[in-house]
Amino acid sequence: MDKNENVEIINIIIEHQIKTFKKLFYKCRSIDSIFFKKFYRNDITNMSYTFSGCSSLYNIDLSKFNTNNVTDMSYMFDGCSSLGELNLSNFNTNNVIDMSYMFYGCSSLNELYRFNFDTNKVTNMSFMFANCLSLNRLNISNFNTNNVTNMSYIFYECKSLKELNVSNFNTNNVINMKNMFLGRSNGSKDTIKNQNKNLEI
């Protein structure tokens, strides 16, 4: 569905046993609001690209989401350039392995509310917050990065973040840290931990 389609309400009923929400709303550029009235599925493992390319989406209620068994959240909100805020307090990320590009290009997003992700199993965080140009507050002090191997471009072009505390990041297993902070504002302060030593970047 593109801009020229006059769709106001979409009712989706999922009755079959499915394992994936991959690309469910992929490039639905005309949708500006999504509300999940009910959410019975508890066996979804893949939510990659679920809302990717929903460039008009500015209001989304995720309070009914069940993400207990999800392993892939890559590109989930990629290109949601109209989203100003996201409440992810209901998200269970205990089993997620891939969070790459999750919020890539969310250029209007200024805050992630109750952002308490469990990242114990995550291995890929590349481009996770890249091009979040308006993001001014990000609390990731609880992130466990013990198993992360790719952090490349994770904060690329996060120009509005004045302070970023990543002092709890353990980068012992990271293979790719290319341009993690590229495009960050002058005067911003970042702290990162590697092999039990604090470095300021």
pLDDT tens for 166-201 read 888 999 999 999 999 898 765 555 554 444 444 444
Query: What pLDDT sits at residue 103?
Result: 97
pLDDT value at 44 more than 60 = yes
The confidence score (pLDDT) of residue 104 equals 98
**What is the pLDDT at residue 7?**
65
pLDDT bucket at 89, cuts 50 / 70 / 90: confident
* pLDDT, greater one: 189 or 49: 49
For residue 38, being part of any structural domain is answered with yes
| Main-chain phi, psi angles of 72, to 5 degrees | -125, 115
CA separation for the pair 171, 118 (Å, rounded): 17
Q: How far is CA 130 from the centre of its chain?
A: 10
118 is a domain residue: yes
Specify the pLDDT at position 196: 41
Read off φ and ψ for residue 98, nearest 5 degrees.
-120, 120
57-71 confidence digits (pLDDT tens): 999 888 888 899 999
| 183 belongs to a structural domain | yes
What value does the mean pLDDT of the chain take?
A: 84
171 vs 193: CA distance, rounded Å:
7
Considering the domain boundaries, does residue 26 fall inside one?
Answer: yes
| pLDDT given at position 175 | 96
Quote the CA–CA distance of 30 and 6 in Å, as a whole number.
8
Structure tokens at 69: 């068994």
Residue 44 falls inside a structural domain:
yes
Instruction: List, in sequence order, every residue forming a beta bridge with 61; answer none if it has no partner.
Output: 35
Q: Is 67 inside a domain boundary?
A: yes
Bigger pLDDT: 30 vs 199: 30
- Please count the structural domains in the chain: 1
- What domain range is 77 assigned to? 18-201
Three-state DSSP at 86 gives strand
C-alpha distances in Å from residue 143, one per residue of 5, 146, 170, 194: 41, 9, 9, 14
Q: 43 is written with which tokens?
A: 């066996």
The percentage of the chain sitting over the pLDDT mark of 90, rounded to a whole number, equals 51
User: Which has the minimum average pLDDT: 18-27, 94-103, 124-133, 190-199?
Assistant: 190-199
Reply yes or no on whether the pLDDT at 34 is more than 80. Answer: yes
Q: Nearest-CA neighbor of 18 among 49, 37, 38, 46?
A: 46
Tell me, what's the pLDDT at 106?
97
Q: Does a structural domain hold residue 151? A: yes
Residue 102 lies in a domain: yes
